[in-house]
Amino acid sequence: MRIAIAEVGQETDSFSPLTTDLRDFEGFGLFFGEEILQRMRGVGPLGGMLEVASEQPTAPTLLPILRAWAGAGGALTAATLEFFRDRLVSDLKRLLPLDAVFLALHGAAAAELEDDVEGELLSAVRGVVGPDLPVIVTLDHHANITRRMVQHATTLIGHETQPHDPVDTGRKTARVMFNLLAGRCRPTMAWRKIPLITPQDQFLTSQGPMKEWFDLAREMERRPGVIDVSPYPMQPWLDVQEGGWAVVVHTDGDRKLAEELAKESAAKAWSLREKFWESARTPVADAVRQAVAAESGLIILSDTGDSVYGGSPGDSTCILRELLRQNVPCRTLVPMVDVAAVEAAHSAGVGARIQVSLGGRVDHVFSQPVPVDARVAGISNGVTLELPDRGPCDLGRAALLEIGAIRLVALDSRTFAINHPSLYMHLGLDINDAKIVVLKTASNFQFFSRWRKGLIRVDSPGTTQSDLTAFDWKRVPRPIYPLDPVSQYHP
């Protein structure tokens, strides 16, 4: 049994001023060939697939091609997409004949000249392997499902939870693949587009309307003949031609059932549309006041407009400016992507005082630099963390700046560790001493859950802000709710 495997994952924020190239992928570990089998054990969808593969009665021959993952950011450069496509095509040609291809994709990647990165990659893969070979695909559930993806993939199976459990998605999908290869099932796909985009405020699958929608998917999977039901609430900053929510249903050879369930699931999401738009966002000044007044910490201030995991630059000064204005008296941890500040701190050295303008450089539409007088309390040339489920994560160069009660870590890159306690701990800080932490995410607070006493979603502006009506949408199909009135929708 010969199975080619690869991962290409990136989530594009169309409103981000950044672009994404191979260096961004290198920061998370860009691997080729056999190295993938060693490095991806227990990590991501490939990790889950490797686990299931090792449990097969007859060991399959796994043929690793490429592992590229880059979190969220701006659109891929044309050359980066071309590199991935060429690598997949040339390696697949070399590896033929195959029994299956297992691809871990994100589903919400766009490139400079291509709205549908995954559709483009899948169509290239299909071009090599022919119309009948199983092309088994896992996706992030914030994917944008397109006609080309459905046409060229055999499965499109998404995460069951937010925060995601990518290893589990890999396991689930691998089981489908091995059942298919053993002749025990014949996945048949149906899907529906839903003319809807919503902000991230209701994205957690543990509560509210998202729980209702995802619970229905799990319930449907218990019905006879159903293999997988994957709801896809597209991440909300993707302005592309076929943008919008979707659901994909896989049944065991039963087209009619797949169509019925896709219709039922889409209708469910549509019926909840107003609930998906409910939002509890606190104005910045109130958020800071509430955090300071809280009985005890740690209070998380979620910088929703500058979510690095959503693709923002991580250099918004909106909350920092307010912390300074209110002269916060308690220990407050703040991350900030600012290469110039890192350079200034490194050349001044530990103990020196520096005057710098912080942040507001990459994105200067939504926030402006803030001048500060800071003491350099620590510098670091970076460490590489091994994050469970995620793999290697390079912290890059950093500097710890003391500004009154604020402890700000300036970073030279948009590292995934920006929302991780290691960012502060590796510079000698104890999280227990802090009352407030600013996180550049709107959903992924799990790394601080040990200390968390409260969470305030700050209504901060930025390229991942919750007010989606404020963006200049150019490409999503119209009408789409709630940018336009959609009087009726019949899935």
Q: How many residues bind Zn ion, per CB under 5 A?
A: 2
Q: How many of the other CB atoms lie within 10 Å of CB of 207? A: 9
| CA dist., res. 351 & res. 356, Å (int) | 15
Can you tell me which of 140, 160, 239, 412 binds Zn ion, judged by CB under 5 A? Answer: 140
> Which range in 139-147, 217-225, 426-434, 440-448 contacts Zn ion by CB under 5 A?
139-147
The DSSP call for residue 312 is -
Q: Closest distance between Zn ion and the C-beta of residue 164, in Å? A: 6
Site for Zn ion in 21-80 (CB under 5 A): none
Angle formed by the axes of helices 166-181 and 44-54, nearest 10°:
40
The CB-of-163 to Zn ion minimum distance in angstroms stands at: 9
Strand ranges (E), 115-210: 135-139, 155-158, 187-194
Q: How far is the CB of 165 from Zn ion (least distance, A)?
A: 11
Nearest CA-CA partner of 302 in 421, 455, 453 = 455
> Least distance to Zn ion from the beta carbon of 396, Å?
23
- For 432, residues 6+ apart whose C-beta sits below 8 A from its C-beta are 451
Q: Name the pairing type of β-strands 384-387 and 391-394.
A: antiparallel
Between 321 and 414, CB nearer to Zn ion = 414
353 vs 178: CA distance, rounded Å: 61
**C-alpha closest to that of 301 among 290, 313, 314, 312:** 290
CB of 210 to Zn ion, least distance (A): 12
Spatial separation of the C-alpha atoms in residues 258 and 374, rounded to whole Å = 60
> Quick one: 198 or 367, whose CB is closer to Zn ion?
198
Q: Does 420 bind Zn ion (CB under 5 A)?
A: no
343 or 389: CB nearest Zn ion: 389
Question: 85, 142, 192, 426: which one contacts Zn ion (CB under 5 A)?
Answer: 142
- Closest residue to Zn ion, judged by C-beta, is 142
**Candidate segments 92-100, 133-141, 429-437, 483-491, binder of Zn ion by CB under 5 A:** 133-141
Q: Which stretch binds Zn ion (CB under 5 A): 132-140, 273-281, 302-310, 343-351?
A: 132-140
* CA end-to-end span of the chain: 39
Token digits for 352?
A: 């020196």
Q: Residue 485 burial by CB count (10 A; 0-12/13-18/19+): exposed, middle or buried?
A: exposed
Q: Specify the amino acid at residue 175.
A: R
For the bound state, the minimum distance from the C-beta of residue 449 to Zn ion, rounded and expressed in Å, comes to 18
Alpha-carbon distance of 149 to 136, in angstroms, equals 11
Cβ proximity to Zn ion: between 60 and 71 the closer is: 71
Q: Which stretch binds Zn ion (CB under 5 A): 15-23, 33-41, 134-142, 438-446?
A: 134-142
CB of 142 to Zn ion, least distance (A): 4
Least gap, CB of 139 to Zn ion (angstroms): 9
d(CA 260, CA 341): 56
Binding mask 203-232 for Zn ion (x = CB under 5 A): ------------------------------
**Binding residues for Zn ion (CB under 5 A):** 140, 142
